[in-house]
Structure 1
Amino acid sequence: MHDPIFSKSFTRTQRHRFGAIFLCFIIALAISKPPLHLLSPIGDAVKTQLSINNVGNMLLVDDGGRANIKPIDVNPAEYLQLPSDDAQNKRTSTTISAYSDNGIKMEKKHAIICKNSNYCKIEGDVRIDAKSSTILVATSFANMTKSWCVIEPYPRRGTSRVKKWRVATLEKNDISLPICTQHHTHPSLLFSMGGFTGNYFHDFADILFPLHLTSSQIQKKVQFLATDYKQWWINKFDKILNKLTKHNILDIDRETSQVHCYNELQIGLKFHKELLTLNSSPSMHTFKVLLREAYSLKRERVIRDINVPMPRLMIIDRKRTRVLTNEHQVLRIARKLGFEVVEGVATDLSRFAEAVNSCDVLVGVHGAGLTNMVFLPDNAVVIQVIPFGGVDGFARLDFGNPAKGMNLRYLEYKIRENESSLSRKYSRDHPILRKPELYRNWDQVWSIYLNQQNVSVDLRRFKGILVEALTLLYYK
């Protein structure tokens, strides 16, 4: 808008000069951009072994704009950091790229993303030296010195029987950099079969489901590299593993005479909580679809049809601890209510998965056997019998919370003192009975309330739970 009063305050020459200055300012503002910066991790760094010396004058990440790269001093403590895995913290990566003088982005050199001491994702020239249990990332940056960290490729920290791997960066002209003997074009994922492998719950919660989460974006292209390798475990779950990868699983610990080289490697497994995911992750629902395909399970969901007279019920059988001692009486009540009872003794995994999938209700005392709920059809009901004592939190964490993500209905039956075998083992005034909150340590919970206890449910009270399960199946 032209203002005559404003224009009369200046001569014609002054107005031309002012206009030129203003135009230059607009042009400068349009072409300017923020300076390059290192994407630093959000959140506190994990206290893990990390050695980085004088990472100076590095070529750093740019946010996609065009600018001539200049050497930038980098704080060594900020490079290759391992952010905490607090669910509230966001993740970020350190990606190193090169730019030409005219601002055109050149070949990406390498990227290392470490969320914690259990997981890293690496892109670039990745070399695996099994002889020294080292993963080496070759870099072309002349001024980058050696940096390294230690990864334990198993979801639960501080677990025994898990081999540790060292991740290190070296210059490509470093004489200590091993020469590749086998080049691979497909991505790879290195994980441990140690830890609690062999416990049926941990087989799914610690390895199989996290394997699905970690490899889902690259689907069957990924090759699994197993440290702490167990052939019997692979044989047991081969149908699931064959759905996750088209490659043979490599026993990486035995490849001591080879140097396997990849362009992309994930070491460790993504893990949120037991059989749970974050909203942005592949869901338990997609994992259940994979299981149905792996074991050719027929039922996708429970069909609500009141004309079907016999819903099927299975009680997971336990032999050593947390035995349901009046199981036969419970089954008798279930039959009277109209349930068809299915035998709950596990034999061959494929046949047992089919048996569970044929059921509408699965009942079990807290324990690994309840993991079989992953084979249930959607809208089925899980009834967890929670032993007496400080077991509630563990029971809900393991099975109560994951049930929703599996599209299952969840009910629980809490054992009272008089229903527990502990009431016959200890006097009525013993702290184990009177004050179970004093025994909250996991070792105490395990040795007392899980390893010493059998249960006998109140039949009238448990009948109410079965009636509620029927209501959920047909009326809700």
Structure 2
Amino acid sequence: MLRETILSRSFSRNDQRRLGCGAFLCCLLTALSVFILLRPYLGHIPALTLRLSPGYGHGLFAMRDESVLMRREDPTEANRGSKQDASCHLSEPVSDYCEMTGDIRVLGNLSSILIGSSQAEQMNTSQKIRPYARKPDTNAMKPIQEWSILPVVKGDREQVSPCTHNHSVPAVLFSFGGYAGNNFHAIADVIVPLFLTSRRFNQQVQFLVTNMVPWSIHRYQAIFNHLSRYEIIDIDKDRNVHCFSKAIIGLKFHEELILYPQRPPHYSMKDFREFLRTSYSLGRMTAVNLSSSPGQRPRLLIISRSKTRMFTNVLEIVALAESLGYEVTVSELTHNTTRTVQAVNSCDVMMGVHGAGLTNFLFLPDNAVLIQVVPIGGLDWHARRYFGDPARAMKVSYVEYQIKEEESSLINEYPRDHLVFRDPDELKKDRPAFTSICLEKQNVKIDVNRFRGTLARALDLLR
């Protein structure tokens, strides 16, 4: 009332109307100016919201959708020297992996990784990865732990996951599950991809292992020790929040036991073999040269399997080799212990039936010879793809001996018109039957008269 009285006395009715309009315009301009000044600091309204429980380890709740969008971080965050970046490679044929830089928090017993929301432009939805390099094989991938990569806004990140362990080195998270209990797959699916992914960090990297089997990890401890200075973390059982500024989830992969140096980070299998020599302190660089040392007896290692694909006449093979001038050792090579690796490195020729034990050819010296005995059952492609081609790429000569039906134990178990003899490619369509017959039930009795030429060929290659 007092304000209306003063205004009525000081201004006419028209003046009051004009004054009111001017005040309204003034307020509107002021509000617009404030909006323009503050616009860079205003977050986008999120279409979906991720709500996390206030304490770590109590789980995630009220997630409205599988796709979690991120709000843009406060721009002052960029002034703290922490550049945020993320890129996921999910269209690779064999292995998915994500590379991230910024505020990264690994919640082991939730199989989750939280990343800072300023990475929204690179990755604005959640991702799921099974970090094992055999993506097309559903049997191998089924038991692999799936990890969720969740973009989270800063406030939620601080509330749910305060760091309990801050790491100054990058993380590489990978699985040692799947077929990694098998020597070939451990090397081809994990060790070589891990070398490709982590070697560039020069041991300044922390390994986080999911699906960890301690005894299996122990087999390759020398390799892990030379890729990282830090003790491996069994991340599935860890209840801490591990914080990193850089992480790689999953492993890069080229081919089984093959690295292409033209692809980043430009490592070759020659580099990998040199790394193995250093890891195991292998002394022999090259095999014997019979041209310059004609009186020296080359060492032949025969891999003798004890359960499947056995040599049933190994003593005859030994006698044949010794008659040709070889010094012979017979071993099963079941584990990658230092003793096994040193034994392989001391030999000039290694022979065995197609199987995981042949993977130890990686420890042979340069210019050595690998003899692969290929059973019947249409295994020619597998033999060359998994051992023949890699051996040639690593300065190891390769000789292949394909047995005849009479040299297979299957000749006594199946009629000659069975698919295993008549059409092994058709048999492969029934994978369990193929595995049972060709890989689990088959043994080999070498025709020593026919095999003589193969051992002689290896001697020629050593010259």
CA distance change for structure 1 residues 55 and 234 in 2, over 3 Å: closer, same or farther?
A: closer
How far is 1:309 from its partner? 2.4
1:153 alignment partner, SS class: coil
Q: How far apart, in 2, do the equivalents of 1:112 and 1:448 lie?
A: 45
CA distance change for structure 1 residues 393 and 145 in 2, over 3 Å: closer, same or farther?
A: closer
Q: Matches of residues 109-124 of structure 1 in structure 2 within 5 Å? A: 109-116=84-91, 118-124=96-102
Aligned to 2:407: 419
Aligned to 1:323: 310
Aligned to 2:106: 128
1:131 alignment partner, SS class: helix
Tell me which moved more, 173-182 or 354-363: 173-182
Q: Deviations 1:396-436 (Å, cap 9, x if unpaired)?
A: 22211111222100111111111111111111222322222
1:108 alignment partner, SS class: coil
Q: Deviations 1:113-160 (Å, cap 9, x if unpaired)?
A: 324463111111111112321111112479999620110011112323
Aligned to 2:5: none
Q: Deviations 1:87-128 (Å, cap 9, x if unpaired)?
A: xxxxxxxxxx97x9xxxxx86322223244631111111111
Aligned to 1:161: 143
Q: Which runs of 5+ in 2 are unaligned?
A: 1-64
Provide the aligned length of Structure 1 versus Structure 2: 383
User: Which of 182, 189, 196 is 2:179 aligned to?
Assistant: 196
Q: Which runs of 5+ in 1 are unaligned?
A: 1-49, 60-96, 101-105
How far is 1:303 from its partner? 3.7
Aligned to 1:295: 280
User: What amino acid maps onto 1:274 in structure 2?
Assistant: E
User: What amino acid maps onto 1:123 in structure 2?
Assistant: T
Aligned to 1:438: 426
Aligned to 1:137: 115
Aligned to 1:461: 450
1:174 alignment partner, SS class: helix
Q: How far apart, in 2, do the equivalents of 1:375 and 1:143 lie?
A: 46
Q: Please state which structure has a larger fraction of its residues in helix.
A: 2
Q: Deviations 1:274-322 (Å, cap 9, x if unpaired)?
A: 1111233312222222222222211011242243420110110111111
User: Which of 247, 251, 254 is 1:269 aligned to?
Assistant: 251
How far is 1:467 from its partner? 0.9
User: Which of 397, 400, 409 is 2:385 aligned to?
Assistant: 397
1:321 alignment partner, SS class: coil
Q: How far apart, in 1, do the equivalents of 2:235 and 2:295 lie?
A: 52
Aligned to 1:374: 362
Alignment TM-score, normalising by the size of structure 2: 0.77
CA distance change for structure 1 residues 296 and 308 in 2, over 3 Å: closer, same or farther?
A: farther
Q: How far apart, in 2, do the equivalents of 1:208 and 1:144 lie?
A: 29
Identity %: 42
User: Which of 212, 227, 251 is 2:195 aligned to?
Assistant: 212
Q: Please state if 1:309 is matched with 2:306.
A: no
Contact 2:68 2:126 in 1 (8 A): no
Q: How far apart, in 2, do the equivalents of 1:192 and 1:115 lie?
A: 16
